[in-house]
Amino acid sequence: MAYMAIKMSGVPLLNPVKRWAKTIVADQQTAKYLENSKLPRLNLGCGINVVDGWLNVDQITGPPGVVFLNGSSHWPYKDRSFEAVLCEHMIEHVNKEIGEIILTEIFRILRPGGSVRIVTPDLNFLGRVLNEKSAQIDLYLNRMRQFLGVELSRCDAVNAAFRNYGHSYIYTPTELRGQMERAGFVNIVETRGGQPHNPIFIGAEGHGAVIGEDVNALEAFGLEARKPDA
């Protein structure tokens, strides 16, 4: 469950020399990827979810195949460089203002007609956790207890979603849709975590392998959208 923004909140910033060195290497790795890829796709804040055929980027580059990127500011990619961008369980780890920067950068680097998929925890579902008695909510609570290794009340589980894991801002689908529309995206489709609509994203998500695909689909939504053709 390690993604770029989790580490942004929990790891000291690199000193300028190390950041410069990582940036030089990342520029070389990115140039090689873009030169050799016929279908360039960016996996933003990948953590340990390294996907074949994608440029997997994160601020922490421990796992093999991960390229350094500080996603909270202007990205070192040319306009219209990528066909698709996956941002899975990352945008909730930065504040709303940085989230807007991320969406703007995604829009900029996508080719016309390119696709984005944003997956993030669902604030509406957390409201259900507090108030609803159902088999789905029992499943979620029991899985969280197993995952964290502690006893959790409904209130504990909701507070954990806000206070733990390095989370900063939890969205509703309506809120995130509005931000994506303001960034310029069109044809926005709502899905659940781990259930992509566009085939280009099939098999690319990793969060379900950590928490379980069933719970991932409950607790997270995904919004997919396109950059206009012209």
Give the mean pLDDT of 2-13: 40
Residue 4 pLDDT level (bands cut at 50, 70, 90): very low
pLDDT of 14:
59
CATH class given for the domain over 4-121+167-226: alpha beta
Instruction: Tell me how far apart the alpha carbons of residues 109 and 83 are, in angstroms, rounded to a whole number.
Output: 9
Instruction: Tell me how far apart the alpha carbons of residues 38 and 41 are, in angstroms, rounded to a whole number.
Output: 10
At 137-178, the pLDDT tens digits run 999 999 999 988 999 999 999 999 988 888 999 999 999 999
Distances (CA, A) of 97 to 19, 160, 171, 193: 23, 22, 13, 23
At 40-96, the pLDDT tens digits run 999 999 999 999 999 999 988 778 899 999 888 889 999 999 999 999 999 999 999
Distances (CA, A) of 217 to 32, 112, 207: 35, 29, 10
Q: Cβ distance 143 to 160 under 8 Å?
A: no
Order the strands of the 41-44 sheet from edge to edge.
Answer: 66-68, 55-58, 41-44, 82-88, 110-121, 220-226, 186-192
Residue 13 pLDDT level (bands cut at 50, 70, 90): low
Domain ranges of the chain: 4-121+167-226
pLDDT of 73:
81
Among the ranges given (23-27, 107-111, 172-176, 192-196), the one the predictor scored with the smallest mean pLDDT: 23-27
Instruction: Tell me how far apart the alpha carbons of residues 86 and 45 are, in angstroms, rounded to a whole number.
Output: 9
At 88-135, the pLDDT tens digits run 999 999 999 999 999 999 999 999 999 999 999 999 999 999 999 999
Q: Cβ distance 72 to 104 under 8 Å?
A: no
Residue 12 confidence (pLDDT) above 70: no
What token pair was written down for 175? Answer: 């809120």
